[in-house]
Amino acid sequence: MGASQTRPEHNYDDLTDKSGFSQEQIKNLYQRFQQLSGNNEKISRDDLERIPALNNNPIRKQIITAFFDKRNQHQNDVGSLDEIGFEQFLMVMSHFRPVNSTATEEEKASVRKQKLRFLFNMHDTDNDGIITLDEYRTVVEELLSQSGAIETEVARAIADAAMLEVASTNVPHMAPDDFYEGITFEHFEQILKGIEMESRMYIRFLDMNTATMRCGKLSS
């Protein structure tokens, strides 16, 4: 796509520092961005919703929303955008970049935290720092909506049970009148500490184009 030439090279340097992607990866992602946006500078919700491969994804809505969420832009800002530019697009993507093999334990931990935060934000739609039962239910219902076997009521019950589980692990001795508002990020982190993230939250952003991707299949 010739459009990539319209973007001067030095901009990439900038973005490399910010997002940690390599020049090559940024170039690829930019091509993709252009493809999605129809060669526009900005990308909108509709553009993302049009991606055919996303149709089968039960939590499509949440993911698309996450792209337009200012919280995921590595800035201390809240609210949501209507459309995002390439830089923002890249920042969201950078959540899923694998850490370097040279990274220290601390760096790994912080990356992990960042990823968890991303997930947390997908749950916490109203940005009050707490996943309420209501919010959680919505997500679970969406998540389970695809497998037609589980009815909405069951999904809801599952959400309730999960919530209760969090409540009982985090606040073991609750007085009868106590009220558990929801999962805070700390609780969220605590509960998910057993999850193996290293291999899960990453996507291989290869330097190559997708045409050569197939070799990746064999290698892991």
Partner 1 sequence: MATSWLFKFFLCVFLMACGGLSLASEEAETQNTQRDTGTGSSSNATGDFGHGARPITTLRIVTWKWHHITAPYLVALWILVAWLCKLIIESNHHVTNIIPESALLICFGFMLGGMIWGADKVQTFMLTPTVFFYFLLPQVILDAGYHMPNKLFFTNLGAILVYAVIGTCWNAASLGLSLWGCHMGGLMGDLDIGLLQYLLFGSLMAAVDPVAVIAVFEQVQVNGVLFIIVFGESLLNDGVTVVLFNVFDGFVSLGGSQIDAAQIVKGVVSFFVVAFGGSLVGIAFGLLISLLTRFTKNIQIIEPGFIFVMGYLSYLTAEMLSLSAILSTVFCGVLCQKYVRANMHENSVQTVKYAMKVFANGSETIIFVFLGISAIDKIIWVWNTGFILLTVFFVFVYRFIGVFFLTWILNRYRLVPLEFIDQVIMSYGGLRGAVAYGLAGMLDENKIKEKNLMVCTALIVVYCTVIWQGITMKPLVTWLKVKRAEVNELTLLEKMTNKMFNHTLVAIEDISGQIGHNYLRSKWKYFEEKWMSRILMKPSAMKKQDEVFNVFHQLNLKDAMEYVAEAERRGSLEFIRKESVVINFRKRFESEYSEDMPDMRANMSNGHRATSTTRDPIPSVSVEMHKHTMKAMTEAEAVNAHHLLDQHLYKSRNQHRHGFSRSDFIINKDEKEVQEIFKRTMKNRMESFQSAKMGVSPKTVIKHAKMEHQQKMPKGKSISQTKLCYSCDEDFEFSEGDSASGYDLPYPSFPMRDSRPGGGIENSAFVSDLYPTDSLQTPDWLAEGELDSSMMAPSLPGQASPPSSPIEMRRLGLLRISTRSTDTKQMNNDQLPPPPRPSPSPPPSSHM
Min CB(13)–partner 1 separation in Å: 21
User: C-beta of 174: minimal distance to partner 1 in Å?
Assistant: 5
- Contact (Cβ atoms closer than 8 angstroms) between residue 78 and residue 70: yes
Return the number of the residue (12 or 67) whose C-beta is nearest partner 1: 67
Name the residue nearer to partner 1 (CB basis): 70 or 191. Answer: 191
Q: Which is nearer to partner 1, 10 or 207 (CB)?
A: 207
At closest approach, how far in Å is the CB of 71 from partner 1?
15
- Give the shortest CB-14-to-partner 1 separation in angstroms: 20
Tell me the C-alpha distance between 217 and 61, whole Å. Answer: 28
Q: Report the residue number, 78 or 154, with the smaller CB distance to partner 1.
A: 154
Nearer to partner 1, 10 or 220 (CB): 220
Rounded CA separation 63/91 (Å) = 14
The least distance separating partner 1 from the CB of residue 3, rounded to whole angstroms, comes to 15
Beta strands in the chain (DSSP E): 42-44, 83-85, 130-132, 182-184
Phi, psi of 77 (to 5 degrees): -140, 150
What residues form DSSP beta bridges with 80?
A: 69
- 10 vs 128 by CB, closer to partner 1: 128
What is the smallest separation between the CB atom of 128 and partner 1, expressed in angstroms? 12
Q: How far is Cα 73 from Cα 119, in angstroms, rounded to an integer?
A: 14
Burial of 5-38, coded b for 16+ CB within 10 Å and e otherwise, reads eeeeeeebeebeeebebeeebbbbbbeebbebbe
Is residue 85 a contact partner of residue 42, using CB atoms and an 8 Å limit? yes
